[in-house]
Amino acid sequence: PPFPDIQVKELEKRASGQAFELILSPRSKEAVPEFPLSPPKKKDVSLEEIQKKLEAAEERRKVNLEQLNDFEKKLGGNAAERGSSFRKKLLFLFFNTRT
């Protein structure tokens, strides 16, 4: 049999098809899982590293805002004056047409 630790017991045939019961053998003590049972330990992150990540995120936000404002000017006008739905469309276009 391809799986010696599994027994297949056929139950009564039914109008909807066949029914089987799978009987698994108890786990052997020698069996070692191929994956770790606990997640890997997280690296301690220093306050300095967190601060650097926050500064980088703020810089990306500023660059994105500048690019969005440039994009808005190219399209001709202030999106805020046209309304929030126009601004949402503008944001969609901006973030989906960038390379």
pLDDT digits (tens, 9 = 90+) for 9-20: 878 777 778 888
Q: Could you give the number of structural domains in the chain?
A: 1
Domain membership flag for residue 61: yes
Contact criterion met (CB below 8 Å) for 90 and 69: no
**Residue 19, CB half-sphere, CA atoms under 13 Å: how many?**
6
Domain membership flag for residue 8: no
pLDDT tens digits for range 30-72: 766 677 677 778 888 899 999 999 999 999 989 888 887 787 7
Distance from the Cα of residue 76 to its chain's centroid = 37
Domain membership flag for residue 36: no
Query: Which runs of consecutive H residues, i.e. helices, occur in 1-99?
Result: 47-74, 79-82, 84-97
Name the residue type at position 77.
G
- Is the pLDDT reported for residue 6 higher than 80? no
Domain membership flag for residue 83: yes
Domain membership flag for residue 14: no
Domain membership flag for residue 39: no
Q: State how far the alpha carbon of 58 is from the alpha carbons of 51, 61, 63, 67, 68, in Å.
A: 11, 5, 9, 14, 15
Write down the pLDDT at residue 77.
65
Helices 47-74 and 84-97, interaxial angle, to 10°? 110
- Is the pLDDT reported for residue 86 higher than 60? yes
Q: What is the mean pLDDT of residues 67-80?
A: 71
Range of the domain at 63: 45-98
Domain membership flag for residue 20: no
**DSSP letter string, 17-36:** B--EEEEEPPPPTT---SS-
Domain membership flag for residue 1: no
